[in-house]
Every structure is written in structure tokens, then in C-alpha cells.
Copies of this chain bind each other. A is one copy, B any other.
Amino acid sequence: MPKLRVHNFPMSLDGFAAGPDQSVDNPLGVGGMRLHDWVFLTKAGRAMMGEEDGSGEEGIDSDFIARADDNVGATLMGRNMFGPIRGDWGDESWKGWWGPNPPYHHDTFVLTHHRRDSIEMEGGTTFHFVTDGLEAGLERAFAAANGKDVRLGGGVATVRAALRSGLIDELHVPVVPVFLGAGESLFDGMADAMMAYDCEQVVASPRVAHTRFVKR
């Protein structure tokens, strides 16, 4: 059975997976980029961002980032992960945070309450907009993945909703030793939902402690 997987969804030691007040200048909320600093030091992370010189560190962190793409045929994400715009799409000039060639390279479904036509990007990514909810989005993503797994990209609210519904099969949370002080909590109030999951792996690089959960 194809799986719904969450990878590289980092959390601060004070429990936040995104900073507060997301905006064009702060796609991950204020301070949220600190959760991702380690990604940009890795070989796989730099390659994902379009760096072609093969630079960056190999090792545990890089392996986790690379593994996130293994056997993934489609991506699903909440609207805030796609952009800072709330409400109507306006002039439709917003095409995601990632520039002309987003790091997905497959059909990518965005949950939203507002209709919009699909956008074909460079590199194989096509953004589709799903207006009838998480489970409908999943259905479309699994159909597009054509037997492969679906990656749930985020954001925090979407991951929490999917965990609460027991829809996520695998969850990888890198715990980053920083303190954001405010933002979107990943696990607050989630203890009951997490009873359906076993911790399969705890492993650390000198920068990040990776935890991986799988549905029982």
C-alpha cells in the first residue's frame, strides 16, 4: 500500500515547527528559518535548492533529506506552505515560494478554500489546487502518485490534522536545539493522536536529533 509520509519536519526544543507571523519575508514565520539552517549545510539539501556544485556535508542529515524523495510520486501541502496569501488568489501571480523550478518535480496538491487553475512549473512540478478538503486532496495525490507514496509537505496545521485523523504512515521530526519562543506548536495536545505511532528511530548528527515515527 502506498504511504503518506512526512519528512524533515523540524521542531525547536521548545516545540515549534514554524515561527509566528508568516509573511513574504518570513515564509517559515519569524525565526522559523533557524529550524532549517542545518539543511543548507548538507549535500542533499544544497542539491535540492538547485546548488549544482556537489558541495555540502554528507552524513546522517544529508541522508535523511535525500530519503524524503525516495519513492515519492506526489506531494500534498496546506495553503500556507504554498504562500503567504490569505483569502482569494488575487491576480494569481503568486506561484509558490520556490521560484520557477520548485523542488518537487511531480504533481503537487495545495489545499485551499479558493479555486484556482493548475500551474505547470519548470522541472516537472505542477501545482493543483484542491478545494474540497484534506481527504479529497489525499485521494487526488495518491492517484497522481500512481502506486508510489505521497509526501505531506506541511505546514504545521495540515500535519496536525492528518496526524489526528491517523492518515500519516510515517513521520520524521528532526529536533533542532534552538528556541523560537513563539510560533506553531507541533505536538501540543497531540499525545492522544501519537498513541497510534511507534518511535522507530532516534539518531543524531552533531546538529540535529532525528526522530522517526510509524503508524502501528
Query: Which A164-216 residues sit within 8 Å CB-CB of chain B?
Result: 173, 175, 177-182, 187-192, 194-195, 199, 201-211, 213
Given contacts A191-B181, A192-B181, contact A175 B206 (CB under 8 A): no
> Inside 8 A of A194's CB, which chain B residues have their CB?
14, 179
**Interface residue from B178, B179, B206 paired with A190 (Cβ < 8 Å):** B179
Q: A85: CB under 8 A from chain B?
A: no
Residues from chain B with a CB closer than 8 A to the CB of A181 are 189, 191-192
Contacts of A15 in B (CB 8 A): 14-15, 187-188
Instruction: Pick from B178, B187, B190, B204: contact of A203, CB below 8 A.
Output: B204
User: How far, in angstroms, from A192 to B205 measured CA to CA in the complex?
Assistant: 25
- Is the Cβ of A206 less than 8 Å from the Cβ of B202? yes
Identical copies in the complex: 2
Residue A143 CB within 8 A of the other chain: no
Q: How far is the CA of A175 from the CA of B199 in the complex (A)?
A: 13
Instruction: State the main secondary structure of chain A at its contact with B.
Output: loop
| Interface flag for A157 (CB, 8 Å) | no
What residues of chain B lie closer than 8 Å to A201, measured between beta carbons? 206
> Shortest distance in angstroms between A165's beta carbon and chain B's nearest beta carbon?
17
> In the complex, what's the smallest C-beta–C-beta distance from A176 to chain B, in angstroms?
9
Is A13 interfacial (CB 8 A cutoff)?
yes
Chain B residue numbers with a CB within 8 Å of A195 are 179
Query: What residues of B have a CB within 8 angstroms of the CB of A213 in the complex?
Result: 177
Q: Which residues of chain A (72-88) have a CB below 8 Å from chain B?
A: none
Residues of A within 8 A of B (CB): 11, 13-15, 173, 175, 177-182, 187-192, 194-195, 199, 201-211, 213
16 contacts between A and B (CB under 8 A): A13-B173, A14-B15, A14-B188, A14-B194, A15-B187, A15-B188, A175-B209, A177-B211, A177-B213, A178-B199, A179-B191, A179-B194, A180-B191, A181-B189, A203-B204, A203-B206
